[in-house]
């Protein structure tokens, strides 16, 4: 095997933004296989014990990943990540890997190979929405270099369990056109929100790609939500205060959840998309509030103490929250190695005794050089629109009438954390806002 086939770089890129479409060539690629359409799941599938347990594993990964990455960004930055995209891309890598390389990835996701094979299809289908006011569209694909030998059984498993498209392109001899093909595919799947060259080099044997597109309006009419009349002082993590106008979410049945270091409530967009805010209590920092345990706990809350049975009071709460933007652009090799114990994925089998094992997909000695994660997130008075892509080249009901109704406000006027979830509580994006 030629040495130039032994090195593979890795990129993980996740973005949530609103960009203008720019023209670019479609590049050159051949469609090797197209998976069947992902059908909406039956609700009974989603409440089966095996799937509930699997999704809980994904949420544990999401909270740990979000804490680690956002805590490393520092108090001066706003940060957002897409745990769903990273979890999905690592799932593809686990399917393509073997031996201890696969086991390290499975251990990081805290699932068995059997669980991953059985539940990934439903996990994928569970987040899909396609409507005028809410769209959630994940896509998986594998891009194989034309000269790379691959096992068709692995390609079939990717298509069957992960709805994975497969393409052949020539990274080695026609690298520019190959990169254009990947770029065009990502741009198309993300409705033009992500349009960038990922610079997959001439040593790329294959690339595993997950994309995620999200668009949710605040209401079914597409109307903007109003700002509160008065301005509030927003306290940033560095201690500075700035006057800001806060958006008014809709009243929801419930009261704010009271954690040890934080309080939490949510606002809802169309399609059941929720932003759950994690606001540190007085005396605690955002770093102390935005921990994996608290992220998981706040996202798991389904009883917001809506009714006081003793005093016969029913509560409705609305969030007042700022428009905000978040971004992140860095490699995530550190978090995958240090937090999740994924090491062999990055080790060249030609240099190390064991090294990376991608033998279920190819016998060409592939490994990953680096994983990069890039995000941009915007939440404004219109709603949420965004996209994510991860690339691993390889390398309540009303109460009795006698109840009093009380309306309260949950005011997000200091540095905060957030979790954006779908209708079933699956984390799509998560992050922190240290300043406005």
How is 92-126 classified by DSSP, letter by letter?
HHHHH--HHHHHHHHHHHT--HHHHHHHHHHHHHH
Distance CA 134, CA 165 (A): 24
Q: Residue 160 contacts by C-beta under 8 Å, 6 or more apart in sequence? A: 35, 121
State how far the alpha carbon of 57 is from the alpha carbons of 54, 93, 123, 227, in Å: 5, 17, 11, 38
- pLDDT tens-digit profile of 243-282? 999 999 999 999 999 999 999 999 999 999 999 999 999 9
Neighbours of 408 (CB within 10 A): 14
Q: Are the C-beta atoms of 203 and 4 separated by less than 8 Å?
A: yes
Distance CA 184, CA 29 (A): 11
Return the SS3 of 57.
helix
- pLDDT tens-digit profile of 65-83? 999 999 988 888 899 999 9
Decide the pairing of beta strands 79-81 and 427-433. Answer: antiparallel
Distance CA 182, CA 192 (A): 13
**Which phi and psi angles does 198 have, rounded to 5°?**
-90, 0
Token pair of 265, please?
């409530």
Length of the chain: 436
Neighbours of 166 (CB within 10 A): 22
Token pair of 162, please?
């992960």
Q: Quick one: which H or E segment has residue 372?
A: strand 372-379
Q: What confidence tier does 148 reach under pLDDT thresholds 50, 70, 90?
A: confident
Distance CA 34, CA 342 (A): 30
DSSP assigned state of 414: B
Distance CA 327, CA 307 (A): 38
pTM of this structure: 0.89
- pLDDT tens-digit profile of 150-183? 899 999 999 999 999 999 999 999 999 999 999 9
For the ranges 24-28, 356-360, 368-372, the lowest mean pLDDT is seen at 24-28
Distance CA 377, CA 407 (A): 30
DSSP string across 121-167: HHHHHHH-EE-SSEEEEEEEEEEEETT----HHHHHHHHHHH-EEEE
Compute, in degrees rounded to 10, the torsion defined by CA atoms 424, 426, 429, 433: 80
Give yes or no for residue 89 having a pLDDT over 90. yes
Q: What confidence tier does 401 reach under pLDDT thresholds 50, 70, 90?
A: low
Give yes or no for residue 344 having a pLDDT over 50. yes
- State the average pLDDT over residues 215-233: 93
Q: Residue 211 contacts by C-beta under 8 Å, 6 or more apart in sequence? A: 85, 138, 139, 141, 186, 189, 190, 194, 387, 388, 389
State how far the alpha carbon of 120 is from the alpha carbons of 92, 125, 140, 187, 318, in Å: 10, 9, 12, 24, 35
């Amino acid at each position: 095997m030629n040495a130039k086939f032994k090195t593979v770089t890795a990129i993980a890129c996740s973005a949530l933004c609103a960009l203008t479409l720019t023209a670019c060539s479609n590049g050159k690629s051949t469609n090797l296989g197209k998976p069947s359409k992902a059908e909406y799941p039956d609700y009974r599938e989603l409440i089966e014990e095996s799937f509930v347990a699997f999704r809980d594993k994904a949420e544990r990964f999401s909270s740990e990943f979000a804490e680690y990455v956002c805590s490393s960004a520092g108090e001066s930055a706003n940060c957002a990540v897409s745990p769903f995209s990273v979890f999905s891309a690592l799932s593809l890598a686990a399917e393509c890997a073997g031996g201890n390389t696969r086991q390290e990835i499975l251990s990081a996701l805290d699932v068995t190979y059997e669980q991953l094979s059985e539940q990934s299809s439903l996990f994928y289908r569970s987040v899909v929405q396609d409507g005028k006011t809410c769209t959630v569209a994940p896509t998986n694909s594998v891009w194989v270099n034309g000269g790379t030998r691959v096992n068709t059984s692995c390609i079939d498993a990717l298509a069957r369990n992960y709805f994975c498209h497969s393409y052949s392109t020539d990274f080695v001899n026609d690298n520019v056109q190959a990169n254009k093909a990947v770029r065009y595919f990502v741009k198309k799947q993300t409705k033009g929100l992500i349009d960038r060259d990922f610079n997959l080099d001439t040593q790329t044997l294959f690339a595993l790609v997950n994309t995620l597109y999200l668009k949710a309006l605040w209401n079914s009419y597409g109307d903007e939500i109003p700002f509160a009349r008065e301005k509030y002082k927003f306290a940033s993590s560095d201690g500075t205060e700035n006057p800001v106008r806060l958006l008014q979410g809709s009243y929801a049945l419930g009261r704010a959840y009271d954690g040890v270091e934080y309080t939490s409530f949510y606002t809802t967009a169309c399609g059941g998309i929720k932003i759950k805010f994690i606001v540190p209590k007085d005396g605690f920092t955002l770093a102390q509030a935005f921990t994996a345990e608290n992220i998981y706990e706040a996202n798991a809350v389904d009883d917001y103490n809506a009714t006081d049975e003793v005093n016969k009071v029913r509560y409705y709460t609305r969030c007042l929250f700022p428009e905000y933007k978040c971004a992140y652009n860095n490699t995530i090799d550190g978090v995958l190695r240090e937090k999740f114990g994924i090491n062999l994925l990055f080790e060249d089998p030609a240099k190390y005794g064991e090294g990376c094992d991608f033998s279920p997909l190819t016998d060409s000695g592939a490994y990953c050089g680096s994983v990069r994660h890039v995000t941009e997130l915007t939440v404004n008075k219109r709603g949420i629109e965004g996209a994510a892509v991860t690339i691993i080249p390889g390398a309540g009901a009303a109460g009795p009438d006698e109840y009093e109704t009380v309306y309260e406000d949950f005011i997000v006027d200091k540095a905060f954390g957030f979790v954006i979830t779908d209708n079933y509580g699956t984390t799509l994006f998560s992050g922190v806002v240290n300043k406005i």
